[in-house]
Structure formats: structure tokens, C-alpha cells
Structure 1
Amino acid sequence: MTYFDTDSHAPNYSAVVRLLNPLRSLYKSLLKTTLLLLAPVTLTFSFATKSEAQFLKVAGTQITDGTNTNFIIRGVGLGGYMLQEGYMFHVGFLGTQTKIREKIQDIVGAANTEKFYKDWHHKFIQKADIDSMAAWGFNAIRLPMHYNLFTLPIQKEPVAGQNTWLPEGFTLVDSLLSWCTQAHIYLILDLHAAPGGQGGDLPISDRDPQLPSLWQSKANQDKTVALWEKLAERYKDAPYIGGYDLLNETNWGFTDSTDTRGTREQKNQPLWDLLKRITLAIRRLDKRHMVILEGNGFANNYHGLDSLWDNNIVLSFHKYGNFNTQKSIQYFLDLREKLHAPIWLGESGENSNNWYTHCIRLMEDNQIGWSWWPWKKMGLNNPLEIKTPKNYQAFIRYSAGKGPKPDSATGKEILSEWLKNIQIGHNIIHRDVIYSMFQSVQHPATAPFAPYALGKRPCYILAADYDLGGNGYGYLDKDTARYQYTPGVHTDGNKGHQYRNDGVDIRIDSTTGKPYVFSIQDGEWLSYSLQIADAGKYRLQLDYAIGQTKENADTTAHIDILQGTTKVGQLDLDLGLGTQQEPGSPQNKHFTISKPINIGLGASSNAGPIRLKFNHSGLLLRGIIIKEMGQ
């Protein structure tokens, strides 16, 4: 039984409940490494077994678990939970949660909107999410908090300068902490949206540019300090609180208003002053929890920080869209030595699986913990994907000013299905993403993406179900990641942005609903692991179409068939056949070609997965059929 049905994409929620307790035992004993919840994925990280948690603390340049044992944080951020960013839900043009909420309220009214957000906070993250994180290898959660769940904006305080405390935010943290304690996962509190907002990037802090920012208002700064005091007072004795991430991604030009990202700032004095003030306020109540600092320029500009004011401080940096080289993190390695404090990759992600594997491996090779972003959203480059509700396009079109306003009944239906889809039992689990973050980092080998068995009956393999594993292991592709913050590099990974998060280009056929591989380039290959009952002579048949090819290009494509490293056959395809349209069009034609091949078992000299190596560009591959000769 699997939690994810590959063929139908239908999640099996009851399976996770039944399997989590056995999985916990499997990880504790280390007797088995096959993760049933993600079959056939194999993960090898141990599950925490301590009966009592140890406070995480700084020891020199490392984080320890309180027993002088180095602790590598392997975390994930709960983006979209307490704070919605527009891009996560295909409304990036709206940007902030406030704008999203306004559009929802415009359709269904204030009361229904208030209920929607209450339900959102209780359904987006549930105990099953936390248990799944623990089972899959995560040992920490970074919780992005919106201040307005804990206290009122300064403009709405009944008495200026005082703080009204709201129960909802604290109750949500209490529930999370309870689940984390049971699952032996650390919970790191991250102030993602501070009073007034901490930068020019409005969505990440839900900032209203018409009101004074955090940096333009002493009242906002006072409220920020008071909120951290309240949190420290409440959680000072909670060992599974991993630390306090004081202020997410400041992006502000303190001395130059044109420096909208805060990357050119040389002193950052207002930032360091506020972070020091917060730290001192926390320490009056809480002497034990780690304090985590983030620099300006989206956590990466630490200019002006020449010394630390506390001996239990971690320095966080964020990393997106650049190369995974030692050079890319050298600034932070030098900072670690200069200030003699641990560094932590507090936020990264939003890329391809191959990028994930190399980034995490780079971190762990340098004794740096990490936290991925986010746990779930609408999109496939995260562990969980939220499915798009029916009629959601009507909400998008209206919000963009390109369509009529949905009526209230339709709006309520959209919100109801949205609330259903955000729950883990209705999420799509991207096993390839999880595999890339754990197994591929430690053991760069392959595993079957889906269970295919070769026996008496013909075996039809979806072309997009190639093996799990990084580039050069489960597949070979010439464009494996996005480097959007690297000048002059314009790659994209999976150009179709569907089904899987590798470099292989995949789209969903609009007529069949099945995935297919397109934009195959000369020299690329795909690997398929099979359960083989009997060695013998089989016939391999391709289900393919003709894609766009260069004018005057060679019209014959050669595909080498290998088992392991041994060539067992070759297919010659005539690309001059039929139309040159992609699947999804009724006029598109299917072509097939077959070849007898000898397939061996594990003990034979040519054992291994079936690999298709392409020496021509322009094919669209739907599937591979393997059957016994004579069938």
C-alpha cells in the first residue's frame, strides 16, 4: 500500500494514519530502511528516539543538542500557513495576503471570509503533516508567523502604545508544539511578517506601503519587541522550541532609499540595533533558547555586524537561484569564522530536485543545517502540492481584472474545495522531491519511481515514470535547474512544469490526462528499474510522437537500449512520418516501433535498469511497452 497512487494521483489519507506508527518503529530500530509511506522510495535517516528533548544550543561554530553532539538542522518552512504569499496560489499579481483577503471578501462577504481564514489555520497544517515530516527525515520546522495573529496593528490599538494580545496565534503555536513534541521535531519560531513590515518586498511581510514600515515607526518596533517578550515568556521552558528567528528577510535601504533590496547597505545599524534590543528583551525571560539573526538584503547582507552581543546566537542566510559551489557560500563561511558562531541556511528551495541535492550536500559537507521552502503550495517543487480547486480560474481572472466577479455561491464552493485541498490527505505527495533531499544527498543511487513488474503480461511504462535519482543516475538531462539570480544563465529545469521536478521536460496530455516527455535532446537518457521475473527474450516497443525538429535535420533518430551499462538493442525511428504536433491535439498521431532484446536478472552480467539513450532531438515519448516474444 502506498500513500500516493501514481496512476490516479489520488492520495490515500487513511494509509498515512495506519503507517506512521509502524514507520516510527522502523526508524527507531534501524532494522529496515524501506519507507512504506513512500514506497518504493528508500530513506535512511534515523528517527529521533530521545524520551526527553535537549535544548538546541550554540557551541563554538556548531549547533548542538545540549549533549555536545553536533546537530544538523534538516528543516522545512510552513510557508502559506500563517501568511499567504500570492505566488503560492497563482495570484502573484495580487502579492500580499491583505490583497488576497480583500478579493475573497469582495466575493463572499466579511463573515464568510473570516470563517475561511479561521478554517485555513486549522486545516493547512495538521498532526499528520508533522508526523509525515518526521517519518521522511525532517527534524525541524520553521514557522513563518504573521504578527496580526498575535496582536493588533498599531493603528487599531484602543490605547496607543499598548498591546492587545490575541489568542489565535498562540493557540496555533501551542498545537504545533504539541505535535512536534510527540514527533520529536524542533519548532523554530520565525517572525515573517513584523508590525509595519520589514522591507520593500511587500508579500513576504504583508506590508501596506501606505502605512509606516517597521523602520519608520518606533511604535512598530516597540510592538515587535513586546511580541518576542510574550513568546519568550510563554515558551521559555519548552525544549522542542528550537530557537527564535527574530526577523525574516529585511530588505531595506537605511542610508539609500533607492537601495530597495538592502543589498548595498554597508552599516545596517538600525537592523542590528533592533535585533540586539529584541535579544536583550528575550534574555530577561529566557536564557536557554537560541536566537537566530538574519541580515539585510533578504538575510544575506551582514555588513556592519562586527561582534555579537550574546553567546547563543546563530547567523542565518538564504539561498535561491545560484550555483551550488563553495564560492557561493564563502562569504558566510568567512562570517562564521569571524564571529565564531554557527551559520544556518534558514531558507532555500523553489528549484529542481537536482539543485536540491547539490545544495543540501554542499551544506552538510560544510556542517551547515538547512530549512527548505515551502512544505506545500500550488506547484510541484515542494514535498506536497495543493491541487487547484474547481472554478479557481474564475477567481484568478476576476482578481486580475480579466473576468466577471463570481457569484457568492460559486465563491463559497471555491473556498470550500480550497480548504479541502490544503489538507495533507488531499495533497499530492512529490516523492521525487523528498528523495532528492535525503536519499540522493547521502547515497546517489536510483530507485523505482513506480512499481513496474515484467512477467507473463505486457508491461506498459509511462515515459515520465523514469527512476528516482539525480541527474546522471535516474536520468540525464542537459537543463536541470533554474539560476534566475545568476546573470547570463537562462535555464529552466522541467520546461513543462508538470508531474515531476527534475530536469526532464514533462507535460500532461490534455486528451488522456497522462504525462509525456518532450524536448528530448541528443545525448539525454532515461532509466527504468523493473522487477523482472524471468530472464529471457522480450520485445521493447516505444509509444512516441514526432515533435518539432530543426529544418534540414536528420530525419532518423537512433535510440540505444541498455540494461545497466550493456547495450542490448537499438531502435531506428523515422522522423519524417506524420505531423509535427505535440500530444493534446486530436490530429496528433501515435507511432510505435519495437525491437527484440535480451533482458537478464540481477545475477547476470548485464543486470540493471532498462535505459533509453537518445541521439537525436525532437521526440515526444509517451511510454514503453515490454512483453515476451510472441505476445
Structure 2
Amino acid sequence: MKFRTAVFVIAALLSSTAVQAEGWLKVDGTHIVDDSGEPVILRGMGLGGWMLQEGYMLKLGEIGQQHKIRAKLVELVGEERTAVFYRAWLDNHTTEADIAAMAKWGFNSVRLPIHFDQLTLPADKEPKTGQDTWHEEGFQRIDRLLEWSKANRIYLILDLHAAPGGQGNDLAISDRDPAKPSLWQSEENQRKTVTLWTKLAARYRDEPWIGGYDLINEPNWSFATPGKGNGCDETENKAVWSLQQRITAAIRKVDAKHIVIIEGNCWGNNYKGLPPAWDANMVLSFHKYWNRNDEASIAEIKALRTSYNRPIWLGESGENSNVWFRDAIALVEGEDIGWNFWPLKKIGFNQPLEIDPGPAWAKIVAWATGGGPKPGADEAFAAMMTLAGNSRFDKNIAKPDVIDAMFRQPHEAGNRAFTPRRIGTGPLVIGAADYDLGPSGVAYRDTVDANYHVATGGERTPWNNGATYRNDGVDIAREADGTPYVRDFVTGEFMRYSAEVAKAGRWTVSARVRSAKGGRIGIDERGVPIPAGAAWQVIPLAEVDLPPGPGAATLRAIDCDDCEVADLTFTPR
């Protein structure tokens, strides 16, 4: 399955074209423009998990912060071997192959979430208060990423994702230790943050392929109740604006050209108390997760764009279904707003690249989260190094459905075959999970196809409740050998399967299905019954006449509440 998907992705890449910009990015009124003055719609991904791990990306969400994850690994294998793992992770997770693939898919920007500890020591670890110890290796990693970006004509946006001390109460985002002073509680942490940005700006001031400086990712801090709130109720945000003004002023002493990107409190979205725009080359970023993709969801930030006469940018979004991705991108691009989704890769199914952690990583997860025995040191280290190796691009599982949802579907509502296939003289078997690429209601229909829990105030809603293989609403599980199949195929849902028909003829269409309760499915409105039972069984659905050229069959759940489908077979008569 991995090989077949990868082959299809290569074919898909060749049909994608990136929107190319030229030279320095800058602000012109409410637009980001290039050197020629042409407006630029930034289309990008964030490299989450590379320099800063969040627990959920490794199935360690209960642990959360990177320093806690690292401590667990040290407990398993010791400090020396944990350091070997982290170096392998940094070496493998993001390489030039990732950036080249992004360019071929159509991305024109990449956002690098930086953990400050890659570049300097924490304030409490400095040999002397007020001193800054620099890690040249971390800067060199950014240098290499910039070289890859330049070679592939992709703008690199530097994002301080974990500021010294941590910028909020959502601890994993910034790897914050709540036992120590936060960014907002320590003048020394703020000084170090300003100095770090000065160092970065001095290093990259002459680099046009640096797209901008994202000053502080997602502040989420209540100044009325430090350590408890997320800043959404703050009405002034004085400290948030003051620090970003200080950073901007420091940058401008060494770098007059690059865009500075500011973010509000409340995960980037609370802009209350924002002073008059303090820099001519400034962009306002907002983040968007799990809400509706309607005009109301962006009305406030659009109003700020008008009143401050500065561009706005969807600096982070994602972690949802293809339906949500398509709708969000169509919404913001329709308003001339660029976007950056999150993340490029992780353990999981709903982003362009999936990391397969290998079977032994689950034992570490089970132990670390309290549900399993402690693995031996050698076994654990082998699992860690397999994970690090599998984070590399050539070991990743590409997700063509996600790329299709991001680049084609916002502008074209039709369907396409999931992988090229041809109905010829012999039987053709199509995996049920290999239904067409395309929007809900066209390529498939499912009762749940996105998570809107922020808008509804309810629980997070799974769309593909099997959380594997594809990122649509269709519910997919796997057999013991890893083969995907469709489950929870219920009344009113359908899946469409396209193929090229070699010559006119008649075919028998059958399906391999099962249902504990029984049901009725079909490729017409009448359908055929599925006898109740626990085993897979092949049932004939219909005989169809197909002309030469593009053809399709739509499988419908006519009366089902627990139907499962493994595959369809077209057999010539």
C-alpha cells in the first residue's frame, strides 16, 4: 500500500505548480508583495515536531512537553543514548527531500518552529546572569534549511515557537516548565528573547528567501490570573504588545528589510489593546482550528486588516479533515489571505506525510503513559532509533488525499481516481478505501466529515473514526496484515470509484462485504441484501454496461448501520 500510494503521489506532484514569487517579500498596504510588486499568497506548512516535539505528535499527549518526553527516554536508556536519539531525530526528520517535495506539491513557504534551546541556553543554565551562550550547531541547521528553501524557491519563515521560559499555559506548545518563571514573569527571559531575535536578524538580514520573522508563537497567558488562564479574556494585552515592540525595535537596528509577524494573545487571536501599527513592514497573524469555515470566523481579523492597513496571514491551522482543509483554504484565499498549515508530518494520518513509528514504539508509549511494562534499555533504544530513521522523508507515508484537498479542491469541485486504474480484459479489484479523491458529496458522502468542536462547544468529533489511511469522513480500519477496509458504512453514505475503460463492454460488479446485523448496499437505488454474519462474503451487486473512456461506479449504503466493505471487483462478461 505504501509503494502504491507513493507512486501515485509522484504522478500527482507532476501536475502541481507552485505560485512563484520573486525576491524580497514586503508589505504594501494590506498585501504581501514581492520585489516586482506582485501580491503573494503564501501557501505553506509548519515543520512541527522537528526542533520542538509536542507529545501528541508522538502518541505521548499525556506527557505533553518535550522536556518531560526526554526525561522519560533518559529513564529508559540513559543520557548518552537519549542524546544519540535526538541527534538522529534532528538529522532525519527534515531534509532537503522534504522541501523539494513541498515545492513540487505547490507550497511556496515553510514555517520553522524554533525551540530557543536549539540556539541558546535557558536563563537558569547560563554560567553568568545576563550572559548568552550560543549553540552554533542550531544556527547551522537553520542555515541548511535556508539553503534547501532557496534551492527550491520556497520562503522560509522563522517562528519562535518556544520562547525562553515559555509564553503560555498550553504547556506543550512551548515546552514550558510551570515550576519556573514564564516568559511573562521574567525580565531575563524577555531580555534573552529580544537578544535571540537580534542574533537571528543579524545573521539573516541579507537573505531574501527568509520570508519573515514570526516573533512569538501563540501567546496564551492570563495576566490577571498568571499560570491559569489562556489570555482570551484579556482586554489590553499590554505585555504582549510591549515585548513584540521591543523585539521589532531590536530587529530594526540590524535588519531594515524583513517582514515582522506579530501574534495576539489567546493562541494568536486576541488583538485587544493593539497599539497603532509600529512598523511599516508588519503582518498580523491569526490561527484557526476546529471552528466553522465561514465569513464570521475571520470577520474580526479582516476588520483589523482594514483599520491597521496591514496584511493578515493565517499563520497556523490544520489538525482536521480534508473537508475542513479545503473549506478553510478556499475561505482565506478568497479573501487574499495566505496560509500555513500544521504540521508537515507526525505519527498520524491527517497531514501530507505520516511517520510510521514501527511496532516497538507502542511499548514505550504504553509504559510512558502508565499502561504497560517498562521496556528493556536495548529494546527501547532500538525502538527510538527506528522512530528517528522512519521520520526521514523516504520512509514517510505520503498522503495524496491531503495534498489534493489543499491545492486542487479549493478551486475545483470534481473527483479524480485515487490511483490510476484501467478496466480491461481481466478482473479489476479496487480496494474499498481507494475511493476517488474529491470533496464530500462528490467523491464520497459520510455522516461526519470534520471536527467543529470549538464552534459547537462539544467534544472533539472524529471524522475517519479508524484514524488511518485517509483523511476524509469515510471510516477506515485495517486487517491484521495492515490492509485497509471501510467500516461503519451506514445508510445514506456512498463512495465513488473511477477508472479508465479500455473498450465498451459488460461487467459484473461484486463486493466483498460483511455485516453482523445484515443490510443492503448497491450501485443502484435498489441494492442487494447482505446476509448477517461475521465473515467476509462476496456478493454480486449488478451487471453494468460501460462505454470506452472515463467510467465510474458509486457504491451506496442503502440500509446499513454496521456494514463493512473490503473491495470491489469488476469482472468482464
CA shift for structure 1 position 93: 0.7
Choose from 43, 46, 53 the match for 1:74: 43
The 5 A counterparts of 1:299-314 are 299-314=268-283
Q: Distance in 1 between matches of 2:519 and 2:170?
A: 51
Letter in 2 for 1:308: A
Which deviations, in whole Å up to 9, do the C-alpha atoms of 1:223-271 show, x marking residues without a partner? 0000000000000000000000000000000123476111000000001
CA offset digits 1:396-454 (Å, max 9, x no partner): 12212333322121122112211110000000000100110001112222111123221
- Please say if 1:363 is aligned against 2:326: no
Map 1:567-586 to 2 at 5 A.
570-574=526-530, 577-579=531-533, 581=534
Name the structure 1 match of 2:307.
338
My pick for the range that moved more, 36-45 or 323-332, is: 36-45
2:434 to 448, 462, 465: 465
Letter in 1 for 2:471: N
Cα 1:508–1:41 change in 2 (3 A) is farther
1:193 is matched with: 162
Task: Verify: 1:350 aligned to 2:322, yes or no.
Answer: no
**In the alignment, which residue of structure 2 is the partner of 1:625?**
569
2:160·2:214 contact (CA, 8 Å) conserved in 1?
yes
| 2:88–2:388 CA contact under 8 A, matched in 1 | yes
Deviations 1:488-525 (A, max 9, x none): 55542111111100011111122x42211122222221
Q: State the SS of the aligned residue for 2:236.
A: coil
When residues 612 and 155 of structure 1 are mapped into structure 2, their CA distance, relative to the original with a 3 A threshold, is same
Residues in 1 aligned to 2:552 and 2:183: alpha-carbon distance in whole angstroms: 57
CA distance change for structure 1 residues 463 and 366 in 2, over 3 Å: closer, same or farther?
same
CA distance in 2, matches of 1:401, 1:560: 47
Letter in 2 for 1:149: Q
User: Is the 1:40–1:451 contact (alpha carbons within 8 Å) kept by the matching residues of 2?
Assistant: no
Task: Give the Å deviation of 1:594.
Answer: 3.8
Q: Which whole-Å CA distance do the structure 2 matches of 1:488 and 1:97 have between them?
A: 29
Letter in 1 for 2:520: A
Q: Which moved more, 1:117-126 or 1:191-200?
A: 117-126
* Residue identity opposite 1:616 in structure 2: D
Give the Cα separation in 2 of the matches to 1:44 and 1:426.
Answer: 22
Instruction: In structure 1, give the amino acid aligned to 2:539.
Output: T
Distance in 1 (CA, whole Å) between partners of 2:17 and 2:295 is 25
Cα distance in 2 for partners of 1:77, 1:462 equals 32
Could you tell me how far 1:353 is from its partner in structure 2?
0.5
Paired residues of 1:78 and 1:143 also in contact (CA < 8 A): yes
1:499 maps to 2:455: no
Tell which deviates more after alignment, 288-297 or 64-73: 64-73
1:598 aligns with 2:545: yes
Structure 1: distance between partners of 2:470 and 2:219: 33
Paired residues for 1:184-263 under 5 Å: 184-257=153-226, 260-263=229-232
Q: Is 1:407 matched up with 2:350? A: no
Residue equivalent to 1:5: 3
Structure 2 distance, partners of 1:488, 1:133, is 35
- Superposition deviation, residue 556 in structure 1: 5.3
Q: Report Cα offsets for 1:436-491 as digits up to 9, x if no partner.
A: 00011122221111232211110111111000111122112221101121225554
Amino acid at match of 1:627: T
Which of the residues 520, 523, 529 maps onto 1:557?
Answer: 520
Alignment-derived partner of residue 554 in structure 2: 611
Could you tell me which runs of 5 or more consecutive residues in structure 1 were left unpaired when the two chains were aligned: 13-35, 549-554, 562-568, 582-587
How has the CA–CA distance of structure 1 residues 86 and 537 changed in structure 2, closer, same or farther, with 3 Å as cutoff?
A: same
How many equivalent residue pairs?
Answer: 571
Do 1:40 and 1:450's aligned partners in 2 also have CA atoms closer than 8 Å?
no
C-alpha spacing 1:608/1:589, structure 2 compared with 1 (3 Å): closer
CA distance in 2, matches of 1:556, 1:200: 49
- Is the CA contact (8 Å cut-off) linking 2:66 and 2:172 kept in structure 1? yes
1:427-446 aligned at under 5 Å gives the runs 427-446=396-415
State the alpha-carbon separation in 2 of the partners of residues 309 and 40 from structure 1: 44
Q: CA 1:399–1:46 in 2, change beyond 3 Å: closer, same or farther?
A: closer
When normalised by structure 2's length, the TM-score is: 0.96
Checking the alignment, whether the CA contact within 8 Å between 2:27 and 2:310 is kept in structure 1 is yes
Q: How far off is 1:42 after superposition?
A: 7.0
Which of these residues, 118, 121, 125, is aligned with residue 90 of structure 2?
Answer: 121
CA contact (8 A) 1:41 1:449 kept: no
Evaluate the alpha carbon distance shift between residue 592 and residue 129 of structure 1 in structure 2; reply closer, same or farther with a 3 A threshold: same
So what's the TM-score if we normalise by structure 1? 0.88
- The one-letter code matched in structure 2 to 1:39 is A
* Deviation, structure 1 residue 41: 6.7
Aligned partners of 1:497 and 1:157: how far apart in 2? Answer: 44
* Partner SS state of residue 499, structure 1: coil
